[in-house]
Amino acid sequence: MASSRSLSAFVLLIGLGSAPFDPAPAQRDNGAASPDSTGLAGQVVDRHTREPIRAGQVMVIGTPVTATTDSSGRFALSALTPGTYALEVHAVGYTPVTWLATIEARHLLRHDFELDPLPVELPEVVVKGKTRLADRRFADFERRRHSGMGHFLTQEQIERSGAASLVDVLVTVRGVEQVCLTNDCVAKMVRSPPGCYPQYYLDGIESTAYFARHTPPRDVKGVEIYRGSSETPGEFEGSNSGCGVIAIWTKSSP
């Protein structure tokens, strides 16, 4: 029985594609090969996980010769004639690579290919912050201010007035007067009959007149004043809205 000979083949593997590749050393059969054993065999794996890639395609460019990897990622290209071939290896979800391989007669070159997964482009995510209740309520203030009904005082106007009390701010509005009862002065609509005082709302909630009108001006973000039923919007039709409505919005509302 003839002793085994050491068989060698020069394999040139250079990347023709853009994908990086660090191939494992090529291996050859130790025994003599039959004439029809000239070809290439190996395995295709994920570069990062080392998992075999199933249903990958290994094809010889410019020829009909192709092979599909099995469940273990293995493939074989047989019955090739000696020469230099351009090989393309690709699989769904991976960056394809193209290489040159020189195949020698009567030798089956074994080689493993590592593919890089394609980058996954995630759909754009829009993060929507939760709007504070106070901001949602004050948005209604702006909506009503542009409707042309009633009279509105903004934070800038209140701060510019330099008023020491909220009543001092309110009486700057035409159609609102100040009425002093004992030691307390209150705002009243000029067109309302004696004893008919406006309904107050504090941050959208019906409030007592005493508590609302003693809100410090420095804490007020805006004021809505409706001098009669014809001006008053539906959301402020309370128990005493016929005498006018004063809606106060504070900076510290929840």
Q: Which domains does the chain carry?
A: 27-115 (2.60.40.1120), 133-250 (2.170.130.10)
Q: What is the Cα–Cα distance from 55 to 90, expressed in whole angstroms?
A: 9
Task: Please answer whether residues 75 and 110 qualify as being in contact, where contact means their C-beta atoms are separated by less than 8 angstroms.
Answer: no
Token digits of residue 66: 């192709």
**pLDDT score, position 59:** 93
Task: Please answer whether residues 113 and 89 qualify as being in contact, where contact means their C-beta atoms are separated by less than 8 angstroms.
Answer: yes
For residues 213 and 117, the model is more confident at: 117
Q: What is the Cα–Cα distance from 235 to 204, expressed in whole angstroms?
A: 9
The strand pairing partners of 85, in sequence order, are 101
CA dihedral (45, 47, 48, 50) positive or negative: positive
pTM of the model: 0.47
Average pLDDT of 2-20?
Answer: 36
Q: Using pLDDT thresholds of 50, 70 and 90, give the confidence band for residue 18.
A: very low
In which residue are the tokens 């829009």 written?
126
**pLDDT score, position 19:** 39
For residues 206 and 138, the model is more confident at: 206
| pLDDT, tens only, 85-125 | 999 999 999 999 998 889 898 888 999 999 999 987 767 77
**pLDDT score, position 212:** 77
Q: What is the Cα–Cα distance from 169 to 232, expressed in whole angstroms?
A: 20
Q: What is the Cα–Cα distance from 73 to 42, expressed in whole angstroms?
A: 8
| pLDDT, tens only, 22-69 | 444 444 333 333 445 788 999 999 999 999 999 999 999 988 899 999
Q: Which residues contact 244 (CB under 8 A, 6 or more apart)?
A: 188, 189, 192, 197, 198, 199, 225, 226, 227, 228, 232
Q: What is the Cα–Cα distance from 38 to 230, expressed in whole angstroms?
A: 98
**pLDDT score, position 213:** 74
Helix (H) or strand (E) holding 63: none
**pLDDT score, position 21:** 39
Radius of gyration of the chain measured on its C-alpha atoms: 43
Written as one string, the DSSP assignment of 96-126 is -EEEEEEEPTT-EEEEEEEEPBPPP-PPP--
The strand pairing partners of 34, in sequence order, are none
